[in-house]
Structure 1
Amino acid sequence: MRANREPVTAVETHSARPWISARFRAGSEPVLPPTDLELPTGQRTPAYRFFEALPAAISFTAVGLVLILPFVDAMLGAVYVLAIVGLMFVRAMLGAVDVARGFLRYRRSARVD
């Protein structure tokens, strides 16, 4: 279908990432993405390692409490599990509301066309 046309250029794609679309411009050198990504390149400090491992420690502790807490105190274990179930229920309801709002927004925008 595009046999008689030039290759797709950055102007036709309207790319939000000019360093990628610049690769398609005829006669230009490819432009690489920025190199200042704020990632440490040298030795990692102990504080960096601590905050790097913190999300995993919190996750494993939350799962471990489900297994260990009932043996320590049954009532406390039940409250913990019910709190997790309640939190998941609230998140599911918020997700359902977001889906309904997105569907209504989709219907409104489809009417415009």
Structure 2
Amino acid sequence: MKTINSLEKKYSYKIMDQQMEISLISADKITIQKEKYQLISELVKDLFNHKEKQGCFKTISNLIISTLISSDETSSIDIFNIDDEFEENITEECRNILERELFKLSNDLPN
């Protein structure tokens, strides 16, 4: 039992070190996002590999959550810009796509 806890502890420290390295790696928002995405991908893969072990599952789940919330406002995990103009363009683009899809769907329906 001690070796399992020791392995989980080593794994946790390794991931926490990676989280700190990511925050110090660069001022470039895109680089930080890519690194965080890679870390979360690795954690999710490990989560599925150890889903039968309750302790490992909880540890990895907590590490995923801490990676997601460890970001600051200038380097959040999402790839979207918070710029108002960008948001308006996305909203307009989404509305146009939705209208096209609804139009296609309505044409496919029987009369």
Fold-level similarity (TM above 0.5): no
Structure ranking higher in helix proportion: 2
Structure ranking higher on relative contact order (CA contacts 8 Å, 6+ apart): 2
Bigger radius of gyration, 1 or 2?
A: 1
Give the TM-score, by structure 2 length: 0.29
Give the TM-score, by structure 1 length: 0.29
